[in-house]
Amino acid sequence: MRVLAAMSGGVDSSVAAARAVEAGHDVTGVHLALNRNPGTLREGSRGCCTVEDALDARRVADVLGMPFYVWDFSDRFAEAVVDDFVAEYAAGRTPNPCLRCNERIKFAALLDRAVALGFDAVCTGHYALVRTSADGRRELHRASDEAKDQSYVLGVLTGEQLAHAMFPLGETPSKALVRAEAERRGLRTARKPDSHDICFIPDGDTRGWLADRLGRAPGPVVDEAGEQVGRHDGAVAYTVGQRRGLSLERPAPDGRPRFVLEVRPATNTVVVGPKESLAVGELAGARWSTTGEPLPERFACAVQVRAHADPVPATAAVTHGEVVVRPDEPIAGLAPGQSAVLYDGTRVLGQVTVDRTVAATALA
């Protein structure tokens, strides 16, 4: 097969590309330039897609003896991921930019170009599995190493995209084995630290980054009864479930800590309350997709709402254009804008972007 290996400059994508070459595929490496500032430098282990990452990817490609290119997707990334991130926070939602990047860049823009150029598959360093069912359908499953499993952020993929996806690391039992393999192959990324946080906010200061783009507008922090208990310097920087940095002027009557329950951008208000008020008994959203076959009208599943959260048994239904999910146990701290990925065992069924939630207490 002709395979396009997406190479971030990290150890995972390096070893994935090496395995594709070793399997006998005709592999070409490509690094995606996603930052509009091409001189951006890596800060420790934060972020990715820097000038150093592009150079590391090129050196790995040289070792593997394969062609290598850098494709500039910075405009598409800025519009589809960065601008979306800002707009979601401005609307009081909490987006997942890594999931949006997989959806709109790596398995949309990149895959579309790859197929147009005659490639059969796009290879990445994600920890996930693509399996073929008895009737020939491609299915997305969790990786064998649950600690590194990345099927959650791939939950936006469609069946057509899975038909052209290759994840060579999915069966690898641990990240340590991937690093050891990179060392054995002589790849310079073997000891490179993992990137983390949001790649376009390399210093990790999300609040400051958002304030630069949306401004700082002081406003009230209120309790569930609407009584003001503090002041904030910008509601858009707060997220549901947040406990620290709430700028409260007086403690709760019972002395217990308060958490962000809701962000209301229309009135520039942050609502806080006790931890038990974070428990969500139902979630729903109209923006949903499946990894293949249509979802049944009603079905049992497991729902996962964060990349490394435990899945929770649930019942889901497709009704009036929405996917409505009721977990068997309440989920804490779920915010509109987050993605809920639905599983049947290890298999990913699809995902829904949360538009609204219902408190567990309201369903009791």
Q: What tokens were used for 265? A: 């951008």
Round the CA-based radius of gyration of the chain to a whole number and report it: 22
Is 123 annotated in the active site? Answer: no
Burial letters 8-28, b for 16+ CB under 10 A, else e: bbbbbbbbbbbbbbeeebebb
Q: What backbone torsions phi and psi does residue 165 show, to the nearest 5 degrees? A: -105, 140
- How many Cβ atoms from other residues are within 10 Å of residue 46's Cβ? 17
- pLDDT tens-digit series, residues 147-176: 889 999 999 999 999 999 999 999 999 899
Q: What backbone torsions phi and psi does residue 59 show, to the nearest 5 degrees? A: -65, -35
* Per-residue pLDDT at 45: 44
Whether 232 and 247 have beta carbons less than 8 Å apart is answered as yes
Query: For residue 74, which amino acid is it?
Result: S
- How many Cβ atoms from other residues are within 10 Å of residue 331's Cβ? 24
CA 333 to chain centre: 17
The secondary structure of 302-322 as a DSSP string is EEE-STTPPPEEEEEEEETTE
Q: In angstroms, rounded to a whole number, what is the distance separating the alpha carbons of residues 58 and 5?
A: 12
Residue 312, burial from CB neighbour count under 10 angstroms (0-12, 13-18, 19+): middle
Q: What tokens were used for 228? A: 């003001």
Is 199 annotated in the active site? Answer: yes
Q: Report the candidate in 326, 334, 322 with the shortest Cα–Cα distance to residue 300.
A: 326
Which residues, in sequence order, are bridge partners of residue 357?
A: 283
Q: What backbone torsions phi and psi does residue 356 show, to the nearest 5 degrees? A: -150, 155
Q: In angstroms, rounded to a whole number, what is the distance separating the alpha carbons of residues 196 and 137?
A: 33
- How many Cβ atoms from other residues are within 10 Å of residue 308's Cβ? 11
Residue 259, burial from CB neighbour count under 10 angstroms (0-12, 13-18, 19+): buried
**pLDDT by residue, tens only, the chain of 364 residues:** 999 999 999 999 999 999 999 999 999 999 999 876 654 544 544 446 677 889 999 999 999 999 999 999 999 999 999 999 999 998 888 899 989 999 999 898 999 999 999 999 999 999 999 999 888 889 999 999 888 899 999 999 999 999 999 999 999 998 999 999 999 999 999 999 887 668 888 778 888 898 889 888 899 999 999 999 999 988 887 889 999 888 898 888 888 899 999 999 889 999 999 999 999 999 999 999 999 889 999 999 999 999 989 999 999 999 999 999 999 999 998 989 999 999 999 999 999 999 999 989 888 6
Q: In angstroms, rounded to a whole number, what is the distance separating the alpha carbons of residues 278 and 153?
A: 24
* Per-residue pLDDT at 48: 60
Q: In angstroms, rounded to a whole number, what is the distance separating the alpha carbons of residues 304 and 158?
A: 18
3-state secondary structure of 131: strand
* Per-residue pLDDT at 251: 83
CA 278 to chain centre: 22
Whether 360 and 330 have beta carbons less than 8 Å apart is answered as yes
* Per-residue pLDDT at 363: 83
Whether 153 and 95 have beta carbons less than 8 Å apart is answered as no
pTM attached to this predicted model: 0.91
What are the Cα distances from residue 218, in Å, to 48, 240, 264? Answer: 33, 18, 13
3-state secondary structure of 328: coil
Q: Could you report how far apart the first and last alpha carbons of the chain are, in Å?
A: 55
49, 123, 199, 301: the catalytic one is 199
Q: Report the candidate in 3, 8, 16, 363 with the shortest Cα–Cα distance to residue 185.
A: 16
49, 101, 123, 301: the catalytic one is 101
Domains of the chain by start residue, with CATH: 2-185 (3.40.50.620), 216-273 (2.30.30.280), 278-363 (2.40.30.10)
Q: In angstroms, rounded to a whole number, what is the distance separating the alpha carbons of residues 125 and 135?
A: 27
3-state secondary structure of 296: coil
Q: Report the largest interatomic distance among the alpha carbons of the chain, rounded to a whole angstrom.
A: 67
